Amino acid sequence: MTLQEVSVALKQGQITPTELYQKCLSLIKKTKFLNAYIAVSEEVTLKQAEESEKRYKNGQSLGDLDGIPIAVKDNFSTSGIETTCESNMLKGYVPPYNATVVQKLLDQGALLMGKSNLDEFAMGSGSTDGVLGPVKNPWSYSKQYREKRKQNPHSESGDSDWLITGGSSGGSAAAMSAFTCYAALGSDTGGSTRNPAAHCGLVGFKPSYGLVSRHGLIPLVNWMDVPGILTRYVDDAAMVLGVLAGHDPKDSTTAHDPINKPLVLSSLADVSKLCIGIPKEYLVPELSKGGTGGGELGRDSMGRNARYR
C-alpha cells in the first residue's frame, strides 16, 4: 500500500495506528539481520500510536501523516533518543531537541519507529562504514536474486552473499524496502539519499537547498547537505515534502517564500515521449536500449556529448 492509501485506511478505521505500529515493529524484528536500525524506540512509539488512536476516535486527526510509521537517519537530532551518527564518538549523546524536520513529522502525528543506520558521520557511499556494521539490501534475500546467483557457478554462498544498500542513508532505504515504515528521512550531500533509493528500488528525493530546514541535521558538508525523503511512490514523496518544506527561523538558509498550497502531482503528465540525456562519460551498456549503446548522439545542456533515447 502507498502512504496515501494507508492514511485513508487510518481515517476510515480500516486499521488503527496501534495495529499499524505492531505490524511494522514485527517486520523490524524479523529483518533485524539487515542492520537497518541503530535503535528502535518501542515504548516511545507505542505511546505515540496510542495517542494517535485517541485522536482518530475523537475526530481530531493532526493531518495525513497521523499514525504513519517513519524512520529517521541517525544524524538527525531526536529529543530523548540517542543520536550517534553511527560513531563511538557520539555514543551516549541524547539531544535535548528535535531537528526541525523530525518535529514537523511528529507535529503531524507520525510514529517514529527508530533511528536508521548509515556510514559513520554520513561519510560513505555504501552504508558499510559504521561501528555497528554494514546495512544489507533486502533485495539480497529475494527469490529472484537467489535464483540468479545459483546460475553463476562462481558466486559466493552463505551470509556473505548480500548486496549493499548504497549510502550514506542505507539504513533508511533498507527500512523502507523491508516495509518497516512508510516514509524515511535521509540526508543528501551528493547522492546519499538518491543512491540508496536506486539500490533498493525506492523513490529518493533531495529537495532544493533552502526548501527544507537543516536545523538539527549533523552535517557532512554544511553548504551542500539537505534532508532527503525516501518513499516507495512519487506521490508519497510529494506528500512528505509538503509537510517539511517552508521557512525555519532556526535555519537562516531556508527560503522565506511561504508554501501555501499542498504539493500535489498532476496525474495527467504524459512521459511516454520523455527524452533523457546522459553524458557520454557516464554511459554504460545497461543504460542504453538493448545494452548496445544505442540512441542518438547529441549534446547536453553543458555542451557535452550525450546519447538520447
Active site residues: 73, 168, 192
Rg of the chain over all Cα atoms, to the nearest angstrom? 20
Under 8 Å CB-to-CB from 197, ≥6 apart: which residues? 166, 173, 203, 204, 230
Q: Is the C-alpha dihedral spanning 218, 223, 224, 227 positive or negative?
A: positive
Start-to-end Cα distance in the chain: 32
CB atoms closer than 10 angstroms to residue 201: 14
The closest of 238, 71, 98 to 165, measured between CA atoms, is: 71
> Amino acid letter at 100?
T
**CA 99 to chain CA centroid, nearest Å:** 16
Distance CA 306, CA 222 (A): 32
How many angstroms separate the Cα of 216 from the Cα of each of 88, 209, 219, 286? 19, 15, 9, 39
Q: Judging by DSSP bridges, how do beta strands 305-308 and 296-299 pair with one another?
A: antiparallel
